A and B are shown apart, each in its own frame.
Chain A
Amino acid sequence: DAGITQSPRHKVTETGTPVTLRCHQTENHRYMYWYRQDPGHGLRLIHYSYGVKDTDKGEVSDGYSVSRSKTEDFLLTLESATSSQTSVYFCAISKGGDGYTFGSGTRLTVV
């Protein structure tokens, strides 16, 4: 479809371990975003990127870091996972004035 894929699709990890989620796009879009979605909160912005090596924080960035060494890849890292980071994580690309296209999501469970 829109050429955006997330990996892994599902992950279970233990508290305190590092976790990296990957978002890959094939359309050369400049802007990429990471959101998390939780019941009662809706989608909340974690970090975003406006180009290679250009990133900035969103609403809920504590406990997360990101990297973008290539246009096509935007990585989200949980340095030391906590149970409060159990969530569904969505990556998105901005296609200009018509909003975003989202990846299929990663369901992360921290036990």
Chain B
Amino acid sequence: RKEVEQDPGPFNVPEGATVAFNCTYSNSASQSFFWYRQDCRKEPKLLMSVYSSGNEDGRFTAQLNRASQYISLLIRDSKLSDSATYLCVVRSEQAGTALIFGKGTTLSVSS
């Protein structure tokens, strides 16, 4: 079983839509969780960390359910500029606290 699993999509939505991405992780000892964004042919960039209490950054809301080992990202009022691949990421306590990446979910927002 892959350590971090995501639905690859693509998700095709119109501007203004609300879209949700889900992710599951297999290592119950994982301590830190993130969402990264990656634009085509660019490096991944940190979108937001994910905290147990849930957290929000503008139009983006992240949730963590440790019991179910489930992470989510909600994007409200989608913009054309939100089109990208969203990577679910978990920090492993082995391998020098290296980050373990999901394969990503592709979002395409159209006008």
Task: Give the Cβ gap from B33 to chain A, nearest Cβ, in Å.
Answer: 10
Contact with A along B43-75 (1 / 0, CB 8 A): 111100100000000000000000000000000
- Residues of A near B101 (CB, < 8 A) are 35, 42-44
Known: A33-B98, A42-B101, A42-B103. A98 touches B45 (CB 8 A): no
> Among residues 67 to 97 in chain B, which have CB atoms less than 8 Å away from a CB atom of chain A?
87, 89, 95-97
Report which of A56, A90, A99, A103 forms a contact with B96, defined as CB distance below 8 A.
A56
Complex-state Cα separation, A50 to B42, whole angstroms:
25
> Which residue of B43, B46, B103 contacts A90 across the interface (Cβ within 8 Å)?
B43
Q: Is the interface of A mostly helix, strand, loop or mixed?
A: strand
Inter-chain contact total with CB atoms closer than 8 Å: 56
Query: A27-55: contact bitstring with B at CB < 8 Å (1 yes, 0 no)?
Result: 00001010100001111110011100000
Query: In the complex, A54→B74 CA distance in Å?
Result: 39
B32: nearest chain-A partner, CB-CB: A97
What residue in chain A is nearest B6 (Cβ atoms)?
Answer: A42
Task: State which size class the interface on B falls in.
Answer: 20 to 34
For A44, the chain B residues whose CB sits under 8 A away are: 101
Bound-state CA distance A102–B44 (Å) is 7
A7 at the interface (CB under 8 A from B): no
**B109 interfacial contact with A, CB 8 Å:** no
A100 touches B104 (CB 8 A): no
Residue B13 lies at the interface, judged by CB distance under 8 Å to chain A: no
Give the distance in Å from the alpha carbon of A32 to the alpha carbon of B43 in the complex. 15
On whether the beta carbons of A42 and B96 are closer than 8 Å, the reply is: no
Which listed residue, B32, B44, B96, B100, touches A48 by the CB 8 Å rule? B96
Q: Which of A31, A43, A48 has the most CB of B within 10 A?
A: A43
* Cα-based distance from A15 to B6 in the complex (angstroms): 34
Q: Is A87 in contact with chain B by the CB < 8 A criterion? A: no
Quote the shortest CB–CB distance from B17 to chain A (angstroms). Answer: 25
**Is there contact, CB below 8 Å, between B49 and A98?**
yes
Interface of A toward B, CB cutoff 8 Å:
31, 33, 35, 40-45, 48-50, 56, 58-59, 90, 92, 94, 97-105
